């Protein structure tokens, strides 16, 4: 993915996280995941962070979340 495709993907993920995605958006996101299965890992991590982010110690949680994303990105680079 590149450029506009990335923007579209992140828009769809954002809509899903905010519970504002309609059926068409969810279907399009599923199609993107089917085409790029590693995307599912990102979405799961984001959903976990989105739904469980504690109010206290948010900076610590954010740090560990960023580290997780770095590891996922590195793993995806080796999968290519």
Predicted pLDDT at 31? 95
How far apart are alpha carbons 49 and 61 in whole angstroms?
Answer: 9
For residue 29, what pLDDT is reported?
Answer: 95
> SS3 of 20, please?
coil
pTM (two decimals): 0.61
Give the position of tokens 């990335």: 6
CB 39 within 8 A of CB 9: yes
- Give the pLDDT of residue 12: 92
- Return the domain boundaries, the chain: 4-79
pLDDT along the chain (80 residues), means of 10: 72 90 96 91 86 68 81 70
| pLDDT for 3 | 55
CA separation for the pair 70, 59 (Å, rounded): 17
């Amino acid at each position: 993915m590149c450029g506009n495709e990335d923007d579209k993907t992140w828009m769809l993920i954002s809509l899903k996280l905010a519970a504002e995605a309609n059926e068409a958006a969810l279907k399009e996101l599923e199609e993107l995941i089917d085409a790029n299965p590693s995307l599912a890992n990102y979405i799961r991590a984001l959903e976990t962070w989105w739904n469980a982010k504690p109010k206290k110690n948010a900076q610590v949680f954010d740090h560990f979340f960023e580290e997780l994303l770095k590891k996922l990105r590195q793993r995806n680079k080796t999968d290519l």
